[in-house]
Structure formats: C-alpha cells, structure tokens
Amino acid sequence: MQLSNIFSASKQEEPVFILCVVVTDASTQTLLLRLHGLQSVIVSKSKRYHYLDAKSLVVKTDEGLQELGSDSEQVNTVVFALEKSWIEDGAIIAKQQQLLDTLVKDLSLNPVGFIEQSEALAHAITLQQPAGGIILLLFSQTTISAILINQGKMS
C-alpha cells in the first residue's frame, strides 16, 4: 500500500468526512474530521488506547472507531497521523508499513495518505496564528522534538 503525504493532495471544494488514525509506537486514537480545502474540523474523537502488538492495535483502533458516533459509520476513508520516527525520506518505513497494512486490511479502511504529527500541529497553529512565533515541544516515548514556527514557517 503506497500512501502519499496528505498536504500534497489536491484541494477539495466540497466538505468531506474522513477518519484520522493517530498511531504511535504504543498508542492509537481515532478522529472524525470534516475537511474543506485546507481547513479541518474535528467532529469527534476517541480516547487514546494503548496497544502491544499488531493484533491489539487492530482491536484498539476498532474500539476507537466505534466511539466516533453515527456520523462516522459510513466513512472508511482514512489518513494516518504518524510519529516522525515512522517516516524516512518522505515514506513510511517498512516495519511500520506492515503494521498499517494489517490495520487497513482487518478494518476495511481506504487509506488516502499520511501526515507526520508535528507537521499537522504546525500547520494547525500556522492557520490560527500566521504571524506569530511559537516553539512547539513534542514528546514521545523515545524522543523530544522542538519546532520553531515563525511567520508561518516551520524550522
């Protein structure tokens, strides 16, 4: 399964609903998003679930999807929000790709792309405060990242 970066996708004219599965090395969380152009609104979100292996990732993600409510029942299009450590040279690393392939197959999802989590946060902040300067600190189980957002540019 080849996934493209969600920010490089073409702009939509009509609002659409899409699932977002946030996956880290130890947890998963699901969101139902309404997209319109570059704007996105979180319609509903699940609690964060911890998993141990591919099988428990599928089970916990499914539980999260069930929490999203009736608006999500007909939606199977998904974008993955991934940790930076899951991405190398603009592509998902092979080990993590296998995990996502299992998730997609077992839950009958239609993947359209992925986004790196810090990129998504920086993008959201830039839309809300395009002229401000912000330091974004991201903590994961294995890393701490600091991102400077200045005048809408990430560095």
Per-residue confidence (pLDDT) for residue 1, from 0 to 100: 64
> Among 113, 98, 1, 88, which residue's Cα sits nearest to residue 57?
98
Per-residue confidence (pLDDT) for residue 110, from 0 to 100: 96
- At 74-121, the pLDDT tens digits run 899 999 999 988 999 999 999 999 999 999 999 999 999 999 987 877
pTM for the predicted model, two decimal places: 0.81
Euclidean distance between CA atoms 45 and 18, whole angstroms: 12
Identify the weakest region by mean pLDDT among 59-63, 69-73, 75-79, 100-104.
69-73
| Residue 7 CB contacts under 8 Å (≥ 6 apart), including other chains | 115, 119, 123
Average pLDDT of the residues of the chain: 85
- At 16-33, the pLDDT tens digits run 899 999 999 999 999 999
Domain ranges of the chain: 6-116
CATH superfamily of 6-116: ATPase, nucleotide binding domain (3.30.420.40)
Query: CB 100: neighbour CB atoms within 10 A?
Result: 23
